[in-house]
Chains A and B, each alone.
Chain A
Amino acid sequence: MKKLGALLLAGTLMMSFVLGGCGSSSAPASSDSGAKESKATEAPASGAIKVGVVNNPPSESGYREANVKDMESVFSADNGYELKTFYSLKNDEQLQAAQGFITEGVDYLLISAAETTGWDDVLKSAEEAGVKVYLFDRMIDVDESLYEAAVVSDMSAEGKLAVDWLLAQNLPEYNVIHIQGAMGSDAQIGRTGALDEQFASGKMTKVVQQTATWDEAEAKKIVESVINSGEKFNVIYAENDGMAKGAVAALDEAGITHGVDGDVVVMGFDCNKWALRELLAGKWNYDGQCSPFQAQVISDLIKGNKTASEKKIINEEKGFDAKTITQEDIDTYGLGE
């Protein structure tokens, strides 16, 4: 219900964005439209590479915000790009915008789709118009030939990276409190999978596995209830930073030490700057990230600095250890402020 409301609102907001965007870009569009066929295939006369980005709105999440910022900074005028952007959570609006970009005569179309289906026609018309398509962040159900490359995250790799790190700590025993994100989300499935394998194999013991649906306060309650029951645990594996913070608040109130020299290992995800600072302070142990930074990879491909060996390029995932993290890491990879 709430989501629906948010969608509706975001939708209307984005509509107004689109209208505003159209207003500003209509002049070049009309002059381009006549000559678009010849122009699009040749190198642009002005020298600037025209890139159209269709993405989800930055308000969706901290991840998306970083993703949008990354796109905007890499495809800047300084780097020789002319960037047009469109943000919406609605697939049909994204489709329209993509078609609009093609008509306007962009050279490259970058898409992170709201839904995986419905994109065939648009991508075909891009092909006809000679617009090259890159997918980022999310895959689309279309024939591989319709896009140049897809730079995506592998959520399960991210989870595996974290669990491998945990195994490498060589703890005498692993009693894990596992706080999950909203059930069914990509991030939750990816981050849960690797840990479930360990539970199944018996290497780690599941003290409790509960979803807090990304809610910090709920995570605190879950940990509190374990503490109150008197059960032993020495690892908290929270599927995002906020929930890890909630869990730590419960530990603090109960006088349980945590972090590098503490009794409990604290693991989070997303790599918010504030979370990485907790790592640097030694209060948490590990923070994993599903990298939102795909722009540089795509830019390298466009400019020919790199060639794609495969259509699907898995973005490198990051994981930070409290013992090795530096301030530079925080500045480079941290999300938010």
Chain B
Amino acid sequence: MKKKSKSIFQGGLGQLTIPVIAIALLVLFNLIRDPSFFSIGITHNNDGNAVLAGNLISIVNSASELAVLAMGMTLVTAACGGQDISVGAAAAIAGSTFVKVLKSGGSISGLTVLAAFLMACVVAMLFGTFNGTLVAVFKIQPMIATLILYTCGRSIAYWINGGATPTVSSPILTGIGSFIPGIPIPTPVIIVVVVAVIFRLVFHFTSLELFTQSVGINGSAARLNGINVTGIKLLSFIILGLCVAVAGCIGVCRLGLINHETLLLDVEMDTILAVAIGGNSLGGGKFRISGSIIGAYVIQMLTITLYAMKVSSTDVKAYKAIVIIILVVIGSPVVKSRFEKMMRQRQERKVPVTAKGAK
């Protein structure tokens, strides 16, 4: 009895308790509100492919950029104990670079798309290095350091393409941003899975997870154990840069255009929220990437639910704020410890014999 509850509240879900409860509540709420909310159907899109459709698909699909960014942000948060608020602006730069390269060639082939993506990655990683250097080498608070790029990033994006909203169109891009013929699952969703798997593999084949957590929890001790603290922090920003490039390119491919002003607008706050809802401490240290991914889906499910309820999108932000306050409060140490205590007391009342027997 005692063991079982322990495994649920400490071992089993642990950090993931809050995001999982949040998802469960949202699902429950929607089921009561409108049981058909989660129905998934197969339709034929305008290219004639059979594809999955429904709110659930919309949620998972539209959360893709957020999920990718949240993964990278988790790492930065863990290592540096602060957040990068320039991801939206950096994504606009990466997306603009992507479009710039695509438009510089003649026709768009798979190779040019790959080249454009790699270029976007390089550029985003360079900006990541810039942020990372300010944070890791010059020891500037992450929020302050990234405020610079946050402020000027979209202007840089503007310069890359000389303004307006350049468009690119190609079946390849549609394949990336929407559906690949023959595959009924939205490509961005597949990309999220791929990125998550890559993270998993990186954690498996390197010591990134252990080192990042050590640096985040106790930088001084990490240094004295031979860890290159500056390097780990820098690396976290570079990895976030890669995530930014992926997110930016997905965003561009979805619509075949880059609007430097609106691409992934305000995404930085949602990203940070996803990390927080995922049960990760914003002060750094221990983290779980999976929590942040779920966090991203929580945020998106909330948005889509509100849209489905025809809540005016100007009000959506307010409702979001309310739900988030509730989640964050539930996840706070105070409530958690109260709850744990309550559970313990209940058990002790139930099995007083064991307690005495143990003695």
B154 interface residue (CB < 8 Å to A): yes
Q: Given known contacts A6-B154, A215-B262, is B308 in contact with A225 (CB within 8 Å)? A: yes
Partner of A2, one of B150, B254, B307, B312: B150
Contact (Cβ within 8 A) A213 B47: no
Q: Which residue of A lies closest to B55 (CB)?
A: A228
B5 interface residue (CB < 8 Å to A): no
A319 interface residue (CB < 8 Å to B): no
The segment out of A37-45, A113-121, A247-255 that lies at the interface is: A247-255
A245 interface residue (CB < 8 Å to B): yes
Contact (Cβ within 8 A) A2 B178: no
A259 to chain B, nearest CB (A): 10
A287 interface residue (CB < 8 Å to B): no
What 0/1 pattern do residues 32 to 53 of B give for CB contact below 8 A with A?
A: 0000100000011111000101
A208 interface residue (CB < 8 Å to B): yes
Contact (Cβ within 8 A) A257 B54: no
Q: Which of A40-94 contact B (CB under 8 A)?
A: 58-59, 62, 65
Contact (Cβ within 8 A) A245 B62: no
Q: Given known contacts A221-B62, A246-B255, is B163 in contact with A65 (CB within 8 Å)? A: yes
Query: Which B residues lie within 8 Å of A220 (CB)?
Result: 62, 254-255
Q: Given known contacts A5-B150, A255-B46, is B53 in contact with A227 (CB within 8 Å)? A: yes
Contact (Cβ within 8 A) A211 B314: yes
Contact (Cβ within 8 A) B178 A253: yes
Contact (Cβ within 8 A) A253 B261: no
Question: What band does the interface of chain B fall in when counting residues whose beta carbon is under 8 Å from A?
Answer: 35 or more
B158 interface residue (CB < 8 Å to A): yes
A167 interface residue (CB < 8 Å to B): no
Q: How far is the CA of A222 from the CA of B55 in the complex (A)?
A: 11
B251 interface residue (CB < 8 Å to A): yes
Query: Which B residues lie within 8 Å of A335 (CB)?
Result: 164
Q: Which residue of B lies closest to A12 (CB)?
A: B152
Contact (Cβ within 8 A) A228 B255: no
Contact (Cβ within 8 A) B255 A222: no
Q: Which residue of A lies closest to B267 (CB)?
A: A217
A216 interface residue (CB < 8 Å to B): yes
Q: Which of B258-276 contact A (CB under 8 A)?
A: 259, 261-266
Partner of B262, one of A6, A8, A216, A253: A216
Query: Which A residues lie within 8 Å of B177 (CB)?
Result: 249
Q: Which of A209-233 contact B (CB under 8 A)?
A: 209-218, 220-222, 224-225, 227-230
Partner of B46, one of A13, A224, A229, A251: A251
Q: How far is the CA of A230 from the CA of B36 in the complex (A)?
A: 10
Contact (Cβ within 8 A) B166 A252: no
Contact (Cβ within 8 A) B165 A210: no
Partner of B155, one of A10, A224, A272: A10
Q: Which residue of B lies closest to A219 (CB)?
A: B255
Query: Which A residues lie within 8 Å of B264 (CB)?
Result: 217
Query: Which B residues lie within 8 Å of A211 (CB)?
Result: 312-314
Query: Which A residues lie within 8 Å of B58 (CB)?
Result: 221, 224-225, 228
Q: Which residue of B lies closest to A248 (CB)?
A: B255
Contact (Cβ within 8 A) A337 B46: no
Query: Which B residues lie within 8 Å of A208 (CB)?
Result: 310
Contact (Cβ within 8 A) B259 A228: no
A171 interface residue (CB < 8 Å to B): no
Contact (Cβ within 8 A) B255 A245: yes
Nearest first, the 8 A-B pairs at minimum CB distance are: A336-B164, A5-B151, A225-B307, A274-B167, A215-B262, A252-B46, A62-B164, A210-B313
